[in-house]
Copies of this chain bind each other. A is one copy, B any other.
Amino acid sequence: MAKELDFYFDFSSPYGYLASKRIDAIAREFGRIVRWRPILLGVVFKVTGQTPLVSQKLRGPYHERDLARTARRLGIPFRLPEPFPFAATHASRGFYWLQESDNDQAVQFAHAVFDRAFVEGKIVQSAEDVTEVGATIGVDRDRLAQAIARPDIKDKLRQEVDRAIERGVFGSPFIFADEEPFWGNDRLEDVREWLRRGGW
């Protein structure tokens, strides 16, 4: 079985979105499988004392500029959803429910969530937002709505977030290649190089 790359992200993270467009190609290049793992940065930030980037003085305006500039350089469509950031709890639960039965469909759903947020500029926050996105890839609205309210699915997301914090994840995107941690869309070239050389 192919080795995995762990890809942690928050659906509300713009740098996570940019990485989501690139991570699969890097994994394929080295015969790896990407393990997509949505988490909630809001919970992580309670541990680290951080606040969302875009709301920070000086840092916020810079990062809005850097995001647009980085997206242009990479040729990836990009806009910030309004309002921003949004709470991705429901979307993340929907992902883990889909992943239980079909990982490919879950990844397709993840791309659809990101595209609604960062291409169309609409938040994916409410249960209705999530079922609407699911419908675009053929997921039954009622089954998805019921699933994201299930206690075991809520537990699954909580466990993933707790495990991420245990592993040292403090931002999005955050990638592990053979337990080596890489934070940020701007470390994807390092991930590629790490896989190519087997470390350095």
Q: Which of B58, B170, B171 contacts A169 (CB 8 A)?
A: B58
**Whose C-beta in chain B lies nearest to the C-beta of A58?**
B170
* CB 8 Å contact bits of A48-64 with B (1 = contact, 0 = none): 11110000111101100
Q: Which of B48, B51, B66 contacts A59 (CB 8 A)?
A: B48
Q: Is A77 an interface residue (CB 8 A)?
A: no
* A181 to B61 alpha-carbon distance, docked (Å): 11
Q: Which of B49, B50, B168, B171 contacts A61 (CB 8 A)?
A: B168
Given contacts A73-B193, A186-B186, contact A58 B181 (CB under 8 A): no
Q: Is A183 an interface residue (CB 8 A)?
A: yes
Q: Is A65 an interface residue (CB 8 A)?
A: yes
Q: How many copies does the complex hold?
A: 2
Chain B residues near A73 (CB-CB < 8 A) = 190, 193, 200
**Whose C-beta in chain B lies nearest to the C-beta of A65?**
B181
Q: Which of B49, B186, B200 contacts A56 (CB 8 A)?
A: B49
CB distance from A9 to the nearest CB of B (A): 16
Please determine whether A66 and B200 come into contact, CB atoms closer than 8 angstroms: no
Give the bracket for the number of chain A residues in contact with chain B.
Answer: 20 to 34
CB distance from A168 to the nearest CB of B (A): 5
CB distance from A66 to the nearest CB of B (A): 7
Q: Which of B49, B58, B66 contacts A47 (CB 8 A)?
A: B58
Chain B residues near A49 (CB-CB < 8 A) = 51, 56-57
Q: A47-B57, A62-B181, A62-B183 are in contact. List 8 more A-B contacts (CB 8 A).
A: A44-B58, A48-B58, A49-B51, A49-B57, A58-B169, A66-B183, A69-B200, A184-B186
Q: Is A72 an interface residue (CB 8 A)?
A: yes
* CB 8 Å contact bits of A156-196 with B (1 = contact, 0 = none): 00000000010011110000000001011011001001000
* A186 to B190 alpha-carbon distance, docked (Å): 11
Nearest 5 A/B pairs, CB to CB: A58-B170, A186-B186, A59-B170, A48-B57, A48-B58
